[in-house]
C-alpha cells in the first residue's frame, strides 16, 4: 500500500476499449449514442460481481483501485513489498480484467491492453508511476490485437506461480488472457459468442482497411481455436482479402 511520501508496489492493467473514442465523437451528434456511452461508462464504474471466485478472493485480499477515463480502464492491486511473487494480487487482477473483457464483449466491444507491475501510486483518480507507463506502452505499441498481454518482467517474476489455466502463449512470445474461455461460464455465453462470430464474419467480408482486417484475422484464429464444435467455426475464402496470406499470429502452447 502507498504511504504518503513514497510509491507502493502494485500490479496494474491498462485496458483500451477499441473503437470507443470514435463512438464518443459520434455521440456528440447522435443522442442515442450519447445514452449508450453514458450507460456503458456508468456500468464500468460500478463494481462487477465475482460469483465464481469469491472464496479465493477472501483468502488473498488486496487493496484495489479502478478508474475509467473515456475509452480506457485502469485497474491496480496492491502487492506485498517482499521479493516473493504475490499470487493474490495476480489472481485478483486476472479475475478483474477477465470480467471486464467479458462484460465489454457482451456489450459489443472488444478491448486491448497490458498488465505490468512495479512502483505505482494509485489512489482514487490519481495514478502515476513507471508500471502504469509500462502497461500503457505495451498496450499501444505491442498488444496490437484484441488481447490483454503480460509484460515480460511480470512473467519472469512469477515464473511457475502463474495461473496458466487462464493464459495462452501467442506466436509473438506474449502471454495473453484467455477471455473466450471465460465466456463459457457466462450465462449469456451462446449469445456473446454468436454475436462475436457474426462481427468477425462481417468485418472480414466487407472491411477494406488492412489494419482492421489484420486484427480480425487474429481474432478469427483465436475464436476458432476456442470453439470445439467444427460447425460453429469460421471458414472464409481468405483469397478475397486485399493481401495474400493470413497475418493471424495465434497458436496453442502445448506446455500450458
**Tens digits of residue pLDDT in 115-166:** 999 999 998 889 999 999 999 999 999 999 999 999 999 999 998 888 888 9
Contact 161, 103 (CB under 8 A): no
Same domain, 197 and 138: no
- Closest Cα partner for 20 from 8, 2, 36? 36
The number of folded domains in the chain is 2
Question: Is 254 a member of any domain?
Answer: no
Last residue in a domain, options 143, 164, 183: 183
Nearest to 200 by CA among 245, 234, 225, 230: 234
- pLDDT above 70 covers a percentage of the chain that reads 85
In a domain, 179, yes or no: yes
Q: What is the dihedral angle through the alpha carbons of 170, 192, 36, 40, rounded to the nearest 10 degrees? A: -60
176 and 63 within one domain: yes
110 lies in some domain: yes
Residues 20 and 140 in one domain: yes
Q: What cell numbers appear for 166 in the block?
A: 487462464
Predicted TM-score (pTM) of the model is 0.85
Please say if the pLDDT value at position 3 is more than 50: yes
Same domain, 129 and 207: no
- Quickly list DSSP for 191-244: HHHHHHHHHHHHHHHH---HHHHHHHHHHHHHHHHH---GGGS----GGGSSSS
* Per-residue confidence band for 39, with pLDDT thresholds at 50, 70 and 90: confident
pLDDT value of position 249: 39
Q: Residue 55 has what pLDDT?
A: 43
Question: Are 44 and 150 in a shared domain?
Answer: yes
Choice between 33 and 248, residue whose per-residue pLDDT is larger: 33
Mean pLDDT value across residues 6-14: 92
Per DSSP, the three-state class of 72 is strand
Bridge partner list, 86: none
21 shares a domain with 145: yes
- Domain-located, residue 255: no
Question: Facing residues of 15 across strands?
Answer: 73, 113
Q: Which of 183, 204, 227 is the last residue of a domain?
A: 183
Count Cβ neighbours within 10 Å for each residue of 81-103 and write b for 16 or more, e otherwise: eeeebbebbbbbbbbbbbbbbbb
Q: What is the mean pLDDT of the chain?
A: 84
Give the domain extent around 236.
Answer: 189-240
Same-domain check for residues 137 and 109: yes
Query: Domain containing 67 — which CATH number?
Result: 3.30.70.1230
Considering only CA atoms, which of 20, 181, 36, 190 is closest in space to residue 106?
190
Torsional sign, CA 219, 222, 225, 228 = negative
Q: Grid coordinates representing 116? A: 505490468
Instruction: Please check whether residues 85 and 100 belong to one and the same domain.
Output: yes
Same domain (yes/no): 208, 148? no
Q: Are residues 36 and 115 in the same domain?
A: yes
Q: What's the length of the chain? A: 256
Return d(Cα 3, Cα 48) in angstroms, integer. Answer: 28
Is 248 inside a domain boundary? no
Cell numbers 518482467 label which residue?
153
Question: What pLDDT score does 49 carry?
Answer: 45
* 174 and 223 inside one domain: no
The answer as to whether 203 is a domain residue is: yes
Question: 193 lies in a domain?
Answer: yes
At a CB cut-off of 8 Å and minimum separation 6, what does 30 contact? none
206 shares a domain with 134: no
On whether residue 108 sits in a domain, the answer given is: yes
Of 159, 183, 207, which one is at a domain's C-terminal end? Answer: 183
Which parts of 107-188 fold into alpha helices (H)? Answer: 130-138, 152-158, 179-183
Amino acid at each position: 500500500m502507498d504511504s504518503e511520501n513514497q510509491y507502493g508496489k502494485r500490479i496494474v492493467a491498462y485496458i483500451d476499449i477499441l473503437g470507443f473514442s470514435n463512438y464518443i465523437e459520434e455521440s456528440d451528434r447522435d443522442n442515442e449514442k450519447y445514452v449508450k456511452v453514458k450507460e456503458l461508462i456508468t456500468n464500468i464504474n460500478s463494481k462487477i460481481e465475482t460469483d465464481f471466485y469469491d472464496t479465493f478472493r477472501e483468502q488473498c485480499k488486496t487493496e484495489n483501485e479502478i478508474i475509467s477515463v473515456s475509452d480506457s480502464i485502469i485497474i491496480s492491486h496492491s502487492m506485498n513489498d517482499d521479493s516473493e511473487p504475490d499470487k493474490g494480487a495476480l489472481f485478483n487482477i486476472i479475475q478483474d480484467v477477465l470480467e471486464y473483457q467479458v462484460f465489454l464483449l457482451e456489450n459489443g466491444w472488444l478491448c486491448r491492453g497490458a498488465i505490468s507491475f512495479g512502483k505505482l501510486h494509485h489512489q482514487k483518480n490519481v495514478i502515476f508511476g513507471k508500471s502504469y507507463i509500462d502497461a500503457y506502452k505495451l498496450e499501444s505499441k505491442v498488444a496490437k490485437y484484441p488481447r490483454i498481454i503480460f509484460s515480460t518482467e511480470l512473467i519472469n517474476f512469477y515464473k511457475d506461480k502463474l495461473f496458466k489455466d487462464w493464459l495462452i502463449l501467442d506466436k509473438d512470445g506474449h502471454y495473453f488472457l484467455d477471455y473466450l474461455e471465460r465466456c463459457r461460464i457466462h450465462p449469456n455465453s451462446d449469445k456473446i459468442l454468436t454475436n462475436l462470430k457474426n462481427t468477425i464474419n462481417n468485418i472480414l467480408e466487407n472491411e477494406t482497411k488492412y489494419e482492421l482486417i489484420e486484427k480480425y484475422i487474429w481474432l478469427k484464429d483465436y475464436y476458432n481455436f476456442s470453439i470445439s464444435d467444427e460447425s460453429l467455426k469460421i471458414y472464409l475464402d481468405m483469397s478475397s482479402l486485399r493481401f495474400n496470406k493470413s497475418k493471424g499470429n495465434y497458436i496453442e502452447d502445448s506446455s500450458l
